[in-house]
Structure 1
Amino acid sequence: MTKHGVRLGTVQETLLIPLYGRAVDSRRPDAILRDTRAEEIVASIDYDFARFDELPSLTGAVLRTRLFDWWVTDFLAAHPTGTVVEIGSGLNTRYERLDNGRTRWFDLDLPDVIDLRRAFFTDTPRRTAIAASVTDAAWTDPVASKPAAPYFFAAEAILPFLDETDVRRVVGLLADRFPGSLLTLDTAGPAIVSAQDQHDALSKVDARMRWSCTGPAELTEWVPGLTLLASHTLSSLPGPLYDTLPTPHQEMLSGLARRQLPQVEQYRLSLVRLPAAPGKR
């Protein structure tokens, strides 16, 4: 079988870690996601995935994706014709897992990533790939030109790799162009960013996180009117979601909660609502 070569930038290479995590998880009898599409993609890519074998953070990446899926599912249940935008979509298969047949969907990532995505995913009347940097305001034009409000933006494992100035720019851009929308994101605290050279997965690649955030409450200081709706660590997932996990994963997470490890407790997954437009608050 001919495999697809990988020519990705330094940060973009990190997308292969959660992809592999979902593929490994999918092969387990007690899978969290059962992402068979991820298995197929991994088998079709010419890359040394073995460097990530047996890494505990692979499970963490899958749990993060599961929580983001949970929030997107809630959004689509309430707004079945709304718009979902994946910021830094990588090779995520969230659309394949969650599409309800009515939503508008955009996959946003840098041009080299979108080139690779096109080997596995095809645009449709309801799904569009956008090749651009999230810091370039121009990408918002095609999203706004086909209005299907409300909007849900999922920024999974992307913002911590930007400088704080760029993160502020992105959040401000979303607030200005899509007021009242929902945004999910992950944040990494100082103990994580300072020790990332010892991280089991990041130590295997050259990319490094640049934005250190003590907690998502920082965002409420940046953007007046932004509301923090939920924030979790991997050891404190929402009860209804935790209850759906296979028993071995529940036991593992309970153990993490008891240990209160900084590298776990300072990594947060959050849902925020951007401020409403003036006059609608």
Structure 2
Amino acid sequence: MTAAEHGPGIQLGSVQETLLIPLYGRAVDAGRRDSVLGDARAAELVASLDYDFTRFDGLPSLTGAVLRTALFDRWVTDFLTAYPAGTIVELGAGLNTRYERLDNGRARWFDLDLPYVAALRRAFFSDTPRRTTIATSVTETAWPDVVTAQGTGPYFFAAEAVLPFLDEAGARHTIGLLADHFPGALLALDTAGPAFIAAQGHHDALGKVDARMRWACTGPDQLAQWFPDTRVLASHTLSTPPAKMYEELPAAYQQLLDGLAAQRLPQVEEYRLNLVRLP
């Protein structure tokens, strides 16, 4: 496994290195006059890390990562509007800054990731009475008890750019953990189809790192096959976001999405952003 150093004693494995791609996307977006996320904290993190982010300069996937995060943000915002004192759990949190963008002063937040990623997070983020870092794998069976002991429902789970890097058994096991411990919870996740998985070596960003997605999922309906009574609430490609989100995007982003939609590229059409309600 190739590792990239990010400060004394802190290393990221090949899969975890991918967390730097969306971080850089948010940082680049923050420097635009027509910024979608306005994530100034991401720009601060990029400036603080000892890493050559220029390898990702100009990649279309940076914009895709920003749009994915923007859609997940909308789903979290809708949840917090309905349940201001609910609980948000970031699965594979990486260096996500959703708390900084969306916290309402009442919700309970958990940021879960592998121990060496959690160590990197702790270099920049501190736990508070309403925000807790959990250093473990999403596939471990003990962490749901930590969440239920300290948080209260309803629950929203954000698994952004996480589950596709597991194999199918790992993804099914993780979603099963959620269904068993948090029935009726909301889960936002991305899925990658077989053609996307097969061609990812030519992907503009993934082609620059060693990590590879492994779970080939045809779409959120597969979750309903695994766990009956799962409800698919929304499913979008990057080129077809919700109409309201599209209307609020800067013109440059709209033109980009229009072009992608017209091309119907497999790497775009087979990559989906989904919101489901667990049984």
**TM-score, with structure 1 as normaliser:** 0.96
Q: 2:94 is matched with which residue: 79, 90, 93?
A: 90
- One of 132, 139, 161 as aligned partner of 2:136: 132
Percent of pairs identical after alignment? 68
Residue 211 (structure 2) pairs with residue 207 (structure 1): yes
CA distance in 1, matches of 2:169, 2:47: 38
Q: Does 1:144 align with 2:148?
A: yes
Task: State how 1:64-213 maps to structure 2 within 5 Å.
Answer: 64-213=68-217
1:59 to 2:63 alignment:
yes
1:20 and 1:117 mapped to 2: Cα distance? 15
Q: CA RMSD in A?
A: 0.9
Alignment partners' CA distance in 1, 2:61 and 2:127: 31
CA distance in 1, matches of 2:224, 2:54: 41
> Is this contact kept in 2: 1:135–1:170, CA < 8 A?
yes
Residue 7 of structure 2: aligned partner? 4
Q: In the aligned structure 2, how far is the partner of 1:256 from the partner of 1:18? A: 19
Q: CA deviation at 1:145?
A: 0.5
- What secondary structure sits across from 1:207 in the alignment? coil
Q: Which amino acid aligns with 2:227?
A: V
**Matched ranges for 1:221-260 at <5 A:** 221-260=225-264
1:154 CA displacement? 0.2
Q: CA deviation at 1:127?
A: 0.3
Contact 2:108–2:151 at 8 Å: present in 1 too?
Answer: no
Is the CA contact (8 Å cut-off) linking 1:233 and 1:267 kept in structure 2?
A: yes
Report matched runs for 1:18-57 at 5 Å: 18-57=22-61
Does the 8 Å CA contact 1:4/1:44 hold for their aligned counterparts? Answer: no
What stretches of structure 1 of length at least 5 have no aligned partner? 276-281
The amino acid that maps onto 2:53 is F
Deviations 1:144-191 (A, max 9, x none): 102411000000000000000010001111000000000000000111
Instruction: Look up the equivalent residue of 2:210 and give its one-letter code.
Output: D
Q: Secondary structure at the match of 1:269?
A: strand
5+ long unaligned stretches in structure 2: 1-5
1:200-253 Cα offsets, whole Å, 9 max, x none, are 111111110000011111110000111100000011100111111111101110
Deviation at 1:256, TM superposition (A): 1.1
Distance 1:104 1:187 in 2: 26
- Once the two structures are TM-superposed, the CA of residue 4 in structure 1 deviates from its matched residue by 3.4
Counterpart Cα distance in 2 of 1:64 and 1:4: 28
Alignment of 1:220 onto 2:230: no
TM-score, with structure 2 as normaliser: 0.96
- Equivalenced residue count is 273
| Residue number in structure 1 paired with 2:3 | none
